[in-house]
Chain A
């Protein structure tokens, strides 16, 4: 899809990279007009938009009829136009003056998206495009909205900047968490970088290579000794007195060989394991400086794979490399020996070589799909069992055991089928491969046998030859798929390097440090969206005074939690600024923010460890007295002391064994010990029952003393002691004031409270 636009994106990127700074000043330059078909140019020219006034031209790849097609979006200095090109002719479909466009947005459809503008209060759909182009049209929509909001021309976007295209070839990037597509991974360069990382092990690696050479020479010796045994010792008129020496020689070679093998294996394992462990350390230490949105963009599962599994997989190839080296040495060494012993026979050895290589190649081609099929069937069976076991209560409650059993049986039979297919394929294939291997031996037996009969070579030479041959084909077949392994190796390494190269979160150049934060928070015209084209917070301004407790209410999706994320600087605002004590938080040292801002989340998270360790998470050097004091203040002390192991109780990731309310009180104790100037309560009591809520609320009342507190709440009753309340609606401040004022005003807050008390009356619970 859209091969043309894709290529353009690539070329533009390179251009932008080369011209560097100057690219910023090219506002007047029409973007990509050179690639526009003549018919479109003519149509635009006739419509009064000459090329020199055009500023952005962007191609959409769907036609108005919902088929693949071509439409162009043009912005010049005054108007927006949509041009359709069909069968070589082009015509203008829409034309709107930019000044009359009030807003613009993109909308996701299925398999495509659309661009909509609002002109004179009327929504107008302009065109559809496939998903690949979403970013580009999103930028245009953003620009048009900005322009309308500002009332003057906004900064012109580069629709192609930073798109998900490979930085080398410009093709669309498949793995959006990567920067270079697998095809463009420069294997040489990657391997070189890997070698640099392996620097501490260069000595050991050289030793391994040396040992490998010795080992190869040793491998070549036994057949040679066998030849002496047959020709010079056991033959008629030979030297029977040599027998013991030759056999002892063979024993010695074998012993040394065993010793060298053990040494090589030990060293290889050692180097590869240490090497990958080192990489894992590096990756994790890099991970901790990455911004939160990196973790949003990358699924936990995929990151886990990269850090744990990819590094493990790296270990395999590192060890394999020595096997490959050994194989190359063997093939070359044996080849030389064979030709030296009997040049004519040596040539015959080469005859089955293509068969062996072909057999290996087809093995991978033929067997792989069968294996994959079996893995998939096994995965499906496991997934089903997993779902069944975790949902067994539901299954039983709805009496669906029979259905689940049938489902399991189906999948089990599928696995059985694939398993049989694999075995069948293997049983057909394996004899063929061994046949290809054995043909070489038969050729040698025949031609060599003839040579022995004709007395051209001795029987010992033939026997040695046959032994060497056995050692020759296995490494050869191994070498056939070396490129496959190398590719995989390079791709994995590249992925790891990308993670290492990921930009850490921007840190202030000269961070402002403050001994103690007062706790004044100012939002100044803040606009932010996780996706820049879908702002969640819009033009938000508000000031919270030190020591004040402010409640934040609004529907889910109104932007409450986003506000919190911005204060913690998990994300940076797109427009406007947030100031703490008058300093832009982007100028504050990150450490400073995290130390002065404490947060209690809706779902408390406890790490694996003791309760004491969890309470002291932010202050590992806290005394036992301090921990107990904090727990007491958090209303957690009593239940903790009742536990058989008290503060030494081990809790898991989910805090197994403790109730939701207990966990929450532990996390409040953690926040109390942390002692921040600014405290954020993100629906801290929303997942517990009323009685527990009361206990948590008591704990919180202690906690908020003397701090600036921002409390997000679903249950409005928890905000009874807030100084002020702000009501958010679709990312904007809808209402604010003291709770009483808001109730008197009978606005949004009033209706929310009323709705909740109606529900509460139903439940029979008294509220505010």
Chain B
């Protein structure tokens, strides 16, 4: 039974070293233990994924928290690179850059889009109330049938046709 404290432990940028070994992220604490594998969880992945990054020990059953990095942009460049690569893999949320077509059929929406991670097609339930999240009137997160997420970062930055299709399907 590990005694959990109720205080947040902050990890100071100059006390930790993060490093990727293949796809595995390791962390060494200069005045503490080495962790063979850590995972990163952003406290505010939607609002601001740069701040308050929880670093957790992946080898423990419940991925116990080691500590929190206040703002990972303040890390040393090598550490920052490792964190960026890990975050990029952990939060796989393609950003939609163009909507080629959306088809509505039998209660599902079939999206054909271009994203920053390449072209893709995905399917979501045709229920805007449950599967499209309005972050702001121009920023949306769509959740598909596999619980994968896609982001429309700035609706107004999309081309006109894309905007029209999104507006039609999200009932804007």
Given contacts A182-B105, A491-B106, contact A125 B37 (CB under 8 A): yes
CA distance A379 to B88 in the complex (A): 36
Assuming the A-B contacts A110-B149, A182-B106, are A1 and B121 also in contact, with contact meaning beta carbons closer than 8 angstroms in the complex?
Answer: yes
Q: Are the CB atoms of B92 and A112 closer together than 8 Å?
A: yes
A595 to B125, CA, bound (A): 42
Closest to B84 in A: A66
**Interface locus among B67-75, B140-148, B153-161:** B140-148
Other than A125-B25, A174-B145, give 17 A-B pairs with Cβ distance below 8 A: A1-B120, A66-B89, A68-B117, A68-B118, A109-B90, A111-B94, A112-B89, A132-B146, A172-B123, A176-B145, A182-B108, A183-B106, A376-B128, A376-B129, A377-B171, A379-B129, A383-B129
**Chain A residues within 8 Å of B128, by CB:** 376
Q: How many Å lie between the Cα of A176 and that of B37 in the bound state?
A: 34
Docked CA distance A372–B171 (Å) = 7
- Which chain A residues border B23 with CB–CB below 8 Å? 64, 114, 124-128
Tell me if A66 and B120 are in contact (CB < 8 A). no
Contact B171 A66 (CB under 8 A): no
Min CB gap A90→B, angstroms: 17
| Complex A-B: 6 CB contacts under 8 Å | A62-B92, A66-B117, A131-B146, A131-B148, A182-B105, A730-B61
With A125-B37, A182-B106: A111-B93 Cβ-Cβ less than 8 Å:
yes
Closest residue of B by beta carbon distance from A374:
B171
Give me the interface of B with A, judged by CB distance under 8 Å: 1, 22-25, 36-37, 39, 45, 58-59, 61, 85, 88-94, 105-108, 117-118, 120-123, 125, 128-129, 145-149, 168, 171
Q: Which of A1, A128, A369: most chain B Cβ within 10 A?
A: A1
Q: Is the CB of B22 within 8 A of A125?
A: yes
Cα-based distance from A356 to B117 in the complex (angstroms): 46
- Inter-subunit contact A128/B146 (CB<8 Å): no
Q: State in angstroms the CA–CA spacing of A131 and B129 once bound together.
A: 22
CB-defined contacts of A748 to chain B, threshold 8 Å: 1
Chain A residues near B145 (CB, 8 Å)?
Answer: 172, 174-176
Contact partners of B89 in chain A: CB under 8 A:
62, 66, 109, 112, 114, 128
Which residues of A lie under 8 Å from residue B58 when comparing CB positions? 107, 116, 123
- Bound Cα distance A107, B148 (Å): 14
Q: Which residues of A contact B129 (CB under 8 A)?
A: 376, 379-380, 383
Query: Chain A, 36-72, contact with B by CB distance < 8 Å: what is the 0/1 string?
Result: 0000000000000000000000000010111110000
How long is the Cα–Cα vector from A124 to B105 in the complex, in angstroms?
A: 42
CA distance A491 to B106 in the complex (A): 8
Is the Cβ of B117 less than 8 Å from the Cβ of A67?
Answer: yes
What residues on B are CB-neighbors of A67 within 8 Å?
117-118
CA distance A328 to B89 in the complex (A): 59
Contact check, A66 vs B85: say whether CB atoms are below 8 A apart.
Answer: yes
A131-182 contacts to B (CB < 8 Å)? 131-132, 134, 172, 174-176, 182
CB within 8 Å of B: which A284-312 residues: none
**Contact of A130 with B171 at beta-carbon distance under 8 Å, contacts A68-B117, A491-B106 already known:** no
Supposing A110-B45, A123-B36, A369-B171 touch, asked if A130 and B123 sit within 8 A by C-beta, the answer is no
* A430 interface residue per 8 A CB criterion: no
Q: Which of B59, B91, B121 contacts A111 (CB 8 A)?
A: B91
A155 to B172 CA separation, bound complex (whole angstroms): 52
Contact A110 B93 (CB under 8 A): yes
Residues on the B chain within 8 Å of A491, using CB: 106
Give the CA-CA distance A131 to B61 in the complex, in Å.
22
| Contact-size category for A | 35 or more
CB distance from A748 to the nearest CB of B (A): 7
Does A373 touch B at the CB level, under 8 Å?
Answer: yes
Q: Which residues of B contact A183 (CB under 8 A)?
A: 105-106
The answer for the CA separation of A110 and B61 in the assembled complex, in Å, is: 19
Q: Say whether A174 contacts B123, CB under 8 Å.
A: yes
Say yes or no: is A94 at the interface (Cβ < 8 Å to chain B). yes
Across-interface contacts of B36 in A (CB, < 8 A): 122-123
**A277 within 8 Å of B (CB atoms):** no
- A131–B149 Cα distance when bound, in Å, is 10
Report yes or no: B22 in contact with A111, Cβ–Cβ below 8 A.
Answer: no
Q: How far is the CB of A211 from chain B (nearest CB, A)?
A: 34
Given known contacts A67-B118, A109-B92, A125-B22, A174 and B108 CB-to-CB distance under 8 angstroms: yes
Question: Which of chain A's residues have a CB closer than 8 A to the CB of B93?
Answer: 110-111
Set of chain B residues within 8 Å of A174, measured between Cβ atoms: 108, 123, 125, 145
Q: Within 8 Å of chain B (Cβ to Cβ): is A624?
A: no
Which of A68, A174, A730 has the most chain B CB within a 10 Å cutoff?
A174
Which residue among B88, B90, B106 has the maximum number of chain A CB atoms within 10 Å of its CB? B106
In the complex, whether A752 has a CB less than 8 A from a CB of chain B is yes
A93 sits at the interface (CB 8 A): yes
A380 to B134, CA, bound (A): 12
A1 to B122, CA, bound (A): 7
Interchain CB contact (< 8 A) of A751 among B1, B85, B106? B1
Residue of B nearest to A379 (CB): B129
Query: Known contacts being A111-B148, A128-B89, is A123 close to B37, with CB within 8 Å?
Result: yes
Give the most central of A111, A126, A132: most B CB within 10 Å. A111
- Residues of chain A with a CB closer than 8 A to B105's CB: 182-183
Q: Contact flags (1/0) for A80-93 with B, using CB distance below 8 Å?
A: 00000000000001
Nearest-neighbor residue (CB-CB) of B144 within chain A: A131
Q: Cβ of B90: which chain A residues have Cβ within 8 Å of it?
A: 109-110, 112
How far, in Å, is B125 (CB) from chain A's closest CB? 8
Q: Which residues of B contact A369 (CB under 8 A)?
A: 168, 171
Please name the 9 residue pairs, one residue from A and one from B, whose CB atoms are nearest each other, closest first.
Answer: A182-B106, A111-B92, A131-B146, A125-B23, A66-B88, A123-B37, A112-B92, A373-B171, A111-B148
Min Cβ gap A82→B in Å is 9
**CB-based contact A131/B106 at 8 Å:** no
Closest-CB distance, B172 to chain A (whole angstroms): 8
Bound-state Cα–Cα, A130 to B145, Å:
12
A125 CA to B121 CA, complexed, in Å: 27
Question: A531–B171 Cα gap in the complex (Å)?
Answer: 36
> Chain B residues with Cβ under 8 A from A383's Cβ?
129
> Which B residues touch A94, using CB under 8 A?
22
Select which of B91, B117, B123 is within 8 A of A110 by beta carbon.
Answer: B91
Contacts of A132 in B (CB 8 A): 146, 148
Nearest neighbor of A126 in chain B, beta-carbon distance: B23
Q: How far apart sit A556 and B24, CA to CA, in the bound complex (Å)?
A: 30
Q: Are B171 and A376 in contact (CB under 8 A)?
A: yes
- Nearest CB in chain B: distance from A492 CB, A: 10
Q: Min CB distance, A96 to chain B, in Å?
A: 11
Q: Which chain A residues numbered 364 to 422 have a C-beta less than 8 Å away from chain B?
A: 369, 372-373, 376-377, 379-380, 383
A265 to B123, CA, bound (A): 41
Expressed in whole angstroms, the Cα–Cα distance for A64 and B21 within the complex equals 12
Once the chains are docked, how many angstroms separate the CA of A751 from the CA of B61? 20
* A107-B118 Cα distance, complex, nearest whole Å: 24
A110: chain B residues at CB < 8 Å are 45, 90-93, 149
Complex: A182 Cα to B103 Cα, angstroms: 14
- With CB as the reference atom, state the residue of chain B lying closest to A171: B123
A123 to B57, CA, bound (A): 11
CB distance from A310 to the nearest CB of B (A): 12
Contact between B149 and A111, CB atoms less than 8 A apart: yes
In the bound complex, how far is the Cα of B125 from the Cα of A175, in angstroms? Answer: 8
**Chain B residues in 8 Å Cβ range of A128:** 23, 89, 92
